[in-house]
Structures are given as structure tokens and as C-alpha cells.
Amino acid sequence: MKILRKNNGTFEILALPGDTEIERGEYIAAVEGDKALILEVIDVEYADIPGILEDLLRELTLQKASMSLYDPHGVSSITFSIRESKIVVAKLRTVVWRDGVRFNSLWIPSRFSSKIQRIPTSEVLRHVRGEPQIPIEIGDSFGEPITIDAADLDNSLTIVTGRKGTGKSHSVKVLLYELVRHGCYALVFDINGEYCGLGHAKEGESNEIAEKVMVARPCVDFKVGLETMGMDVIMDILEHVFATPQNSIREFARLWEYLERNGKLTIEGLLGEVRRAHMNEAVRDALMSRLHVILGSGFIVDGDYDPIFHLFNSREDGLLVVVDLSRLRPMVRRMVVEYVLSAITKHLSENSIPPLFLVSEEAHLYVGETYWEDIVTRMRHLGISPIFVTNQPDSIPELIYRQADNLLLFNFVNENDLEALSKFSHVDSETVKRVAPSLELGQALIVGNIVGNIPILVKIKDVNAKVLGRTKRFFKSVEQKV
Ligand SMILES: Nc1ncnc2c1ncn2[C@@H]1O[C@H](COP(=O)(O)OP(=O)(O)OP(=O)(O)O)[C@@H](O)[C@H]1O
Ligand SMILES: [Mg+2]
């Protein structure tokens, strides 16, 4: 192979027929002396050879006449190679010098004497990132195991996106499994009830993290005390989740304070006071209907029980709390999320729970607009590492793409979806647009800090946990395709 031309960061490499069995996402190095250009293959195209049209027409005519070419000097194989040559399109990722990597070096090798060879992705990773401190294996890239550093995931914002059924949740399960195994803490908003099986091995017995997985079912075994929840959180819920008018919220605050002063703060007390107190009937109706849903959901109980504090302080060697939102009505679901987020923020700012990973799938379904910014700015500084999972990349606000540190991109073909991803600043949109449509089930293009800021293609490994939340099908024997 020889370098043909360079256009900004894109290299075109001339390759003869035998050299083109190369896959999208593979790495090649153009080596000269003690320096090497590290390139990632994103496409293979036909070479533009002068006279190719005439050659093709001659071939067609000969085929039609069933004639073979007279070739006394045996030059046909050379001509064959030339006209079958291809162009490998590759993106410049980094330059490796003897003393390390340089991302902004202007060095380019000689087109004639440089040697182009394949290079395993794991070796590229070693160059750009060094050896991971807390290695976790997540899968393989063209047969080579790929490990990422758990420390790089810590305090970073990760987006996992891809078309429906392409392996997004599976990859998050692998990450959570490994993180929790290494003693990290995490909380998942589980909208499909599919993370509940992470503590069970495939065969049904328990796995390595069995004791560290706690499934919290809101209104069943996950409840919060009215006093713990506090007036502010209930007022936020009234305002953001139930769109309560301001005058009703003010009235509620007045009643709460009155009951608290008299030591009568209970669910019955609150409802009774709203029923009895002297107030405008419209305000009373607005409050009564909403408080019935909030207080009657079974999520809030009398007293000062603090489930988040108890859960996260129940183990010292890591924990995964799965908040099962699958059986809740939309309003109750948003209320639970609002409480959990505020409780986590409060405890983290008081240092009373350890820093944690927060996984939210299709968060736009239950996280209000106001919380997005909060999660990625304020909560992040307190020690939350958010992982957002979605199959609608345009549902994630631009701010989040701009702040994101890592992206796990699964298959996408739709142009609008791919366009939304170009807001993510760690990768050029050409790579995304060429690579994403060809990704297979369970294969992801990973970009960002966790892979030393060079995009790599990884086939995510399997995990020894029960897979729940699989879509129920009528034709059970039909294999799923991407
Ligand atoms: N790397 C993998 N190895 C083995 N099985 C996998 C892998 N990735 C995905 N699968 C399987 O493929 C199916 C779909 O995966 P998954 O549920 O993770 O997709 P998804 O992208 O989260 O889909 P949805 O958008 O519907 O939530 C699951 O049954 C899962 O077990
Ligand atoms: Mg999923």
C-alpha cells in the first residue's frame, strides 16, 4: 500500500487487490524511521485509473464474444492488479514518535519509502492512553481484547445511543457489572425492568455481583418518609411534575409549615388540613387532586425514613441500586425520579453517600427539562457520573452533547439521527456517518476519554447475567436481526 493523497485529516491510500481485505474501523500505521502515522480505515473505494472506462468496455465486449485476450508476454496479471486497485480511505488519528504520541503533529511520511501495515487496536490504545489503572474488559476489536480504565469513566458524562435493539442496554449492563465488581456505586432508572436480573447468572444461580444488586421497587419496598422528603421537594414535584398553579403551591407551603410547627405532619394531617382549611375553592381543588396522587401513590409514608441514605450506606464494597420504574404510572414515575435526584444531590453535597454512576434510559420520558442542565453541571461536580441511553439522539439537548466525555455509538442508518450526533465534539461527523450504518448487533464505535480520544470499534462482550426486558414476540423462533 502507498499513500496517494491527503486532504486535511483524510488520507487516501492506494492498495492492490490482495491488500484490501481490511475492515471498517481497523487501524493501519504508515511507518518511516522511528515515527508512525496512525490511521483508522473508514471506507474502501475504487481507484480512479485513467482509461478505466475503455478497459471495462473492452472487457465487456470480449466477454460477450467469448474471446480471450492474446497475452504472449504474460503482462495481463500486472494489468489486472492495476485496474483492480482500490483506495482505502482512512482518517488520521495520531502520530506516534519515539517518545510518545502527538495529536497535533504536522509530520507526514514519504509516499514512496513509508511502509504501511496493520496495527492491532489494543496497541493503538496502549500508545494513546497507556496502561489502564483499573482495567475492565468490555469486549474485543477484530479479535483483540479491549480494556478501558474504570477511572476514566469516573466523573465523566457518557452517552450510549443507537437504533432500537442494537445492544445499547446490553453494553451498559456490561459496564455496570464490571464497575460494581470493582467496588463502584451506581443507580439505574430502569424503565423496562431489564436491569433487575443483573445479580443472577444466566443459569439462574447467583453471579459475582449477586449480593451487590438491590432492586428498589417504588411504592412496594422503596418508600420515603414525608419528613425526609421535605417541603421543597414536594413543592418541586407539584410545580414541575403536576404543573400546579403558584397560588396553590403557596397555600400548600403555608399548611405544611403550620402542621410542622404543631408536630402534626402526617399524610392524613396534610390531606385533612387541605380539606378543612379556609381557602379559595379552586385552589383547594387544584391541591386536593394533586396531593391525592402524590400522597396516595404509596411512595410516601409517614415519618423520616431515608431510603437513599440507607441503601448507599449498606455496603462498603460497591452497590448497584436498580430503581424499577416499569410498573409505575407516568406521573408517579416522574415523581420518584424527582425525589431520587434531589436526595442524591443532597447526600452527595453532604458527603453522606459515595460518588456514583447514574444510568438513565430514555430520560426524556421522566426527567423534566429543568433537570438536564442540573444533572450535567451541578450534580456532576458533586460526584455523579451520568450515563444517558437513548435511541432518539435528538431527544438529548445540545448542551449534553457538548459536555459529553464519551460516546458509545451503535448502529444508525437514519440521516437525521446521524446529524444529531455531529454535535458531539470528540469525533468528526464523516467518521460517524460512514461507520455507524455498518455496525452489527452488539458492535459499538466508542469515542472519547475512555479510549484515549481515538474512535475504536468494539464488539461488546457477553455478560454472565440474566437478560430481562427482552421484547415479547409471538414468533419466538425467529432470530433478531439488525
Ligand atoms: N454484545 C452482545 N452480546 C450478546 N448479546 C447481545 C449483545 N448485544 C445485544 N445483545 C442482545 O441483543 C438484544 C438487544 O439488545 P439490547 O436490549 O441491549 O438492545 P437496545 O439497543 O437496548 O434495544 P432498545 O432500543 O429496544 O432498548 C438483547 O437480547 C441482548 O441480549
Ligand atoms: Mg435497551
Q: What is the DSSP string of 76-106?
A: HHHHHHHHT-EEEEEEEEEEEETTEEETT--
Residue 99: half-sphere exposure toward Cβ, Cα within 13 Å: 0
Nearest to 244 by CA among 204, 292, 178, 184: 292
Residue 193, ligand 1, Cβ within 6 A: no
Residue 411, ligand 1, Cβ within 6 A: no
Nearest CA to ligand 1 atom 20: 165
Task: Give the integer Cα–Cα distance in Å for 225 and 426.
Answer: 43
**Site to substitute for ligand 1 among 137, 140, 170, 174, most atoms within 8 A of C-beta:** 170
Q: Where are the domains of the chain?
A: 2-129, 135-219+317-460, 224-301
pLDDT, position 270: 92
Contact 146/458 with Cβ under 8 angstroms? yes
How many angstroms is it from 467 CA to the middle of ligand 1? Answer: 9
How many angstroms is it from 235 CA to the middle of ligand 2? Answer: 32
pLDDT, position 477: 60
pLDDT digits (tens, 9 = 90+) for 336-372: 999 999 999 999 999 999 999 999 998 888 887 667 7
Residue 460, ligand 1, Cβ within 6 A: yes
- As given in the structure block, the three cell numbers for residue 62 are 470480449
Main-chain dihedrals φ then ψ at residue 56, nearest 5 degrees: -65, -40
Averaged pLDDT, 416-438: 85
67 DSSP assignment:
-
Residue 202, ligand 1, Cβ within 6 A: no
Nearest to 434 by CA among 407, 449, 455, 448: 455
pLDDT, position 463: 85
Whether 84 shows a pLDDT value over 60: the answer reads: yes
Point out the ligand 1 atom lying closest to the alpha carbon of residue 410: 21
pLDDT digits (tens, 9 = 90+) for 263-279: 889 999 999 999 998 88
Whether 480 shows a pLDDT value over 60: the answer reads: no
Which ligand is the nearest neighbour of the Cα of 468? 1
pLDDT, position 349: 93
Residue 109, ligand 1, Cβ within 6 A: no
How many angstroms is it from 288 CA to the middle of ligand 1? Answer: 43
Task: Give the integer Cα–Cα distance in Å for 129 and 147.
Answer: 11
Which ligand is the nearest neighbour of the Cα of 170? 1
Task: Give the integer Cα–Cα distance in Å for 345 and 355.
Answer: 10
pLDDT digits (tens, 9 = 90+) for 212-250: 999 999 999 999 999 999 999 999 999 988 999 999 999
**Site to substitute for ligand 1 among 141, 169, 409, 459, most atoms within 8 A of C-beta:** 169
pLDDT, position 471: 60
In 248-318, where do the E strands start and end? 300-301
| 92-106, 347-361, 441-455: least confident range | 92-106
Which ligand is the nearest neighbour of the Cα of 471? 1
Residue type, 191: I
Whether 180 shows a pLDDT value over 60: the answer reads: yes
| Residue 53 three-state SS | helix
Which fold would CATH assign to domain 135-219+317-460?
Rossmann fold (3.40.50)
Average pLDDT of the chain, as a whole number: 88
Contact 239/320 with Cβ under 8 angstroms? no
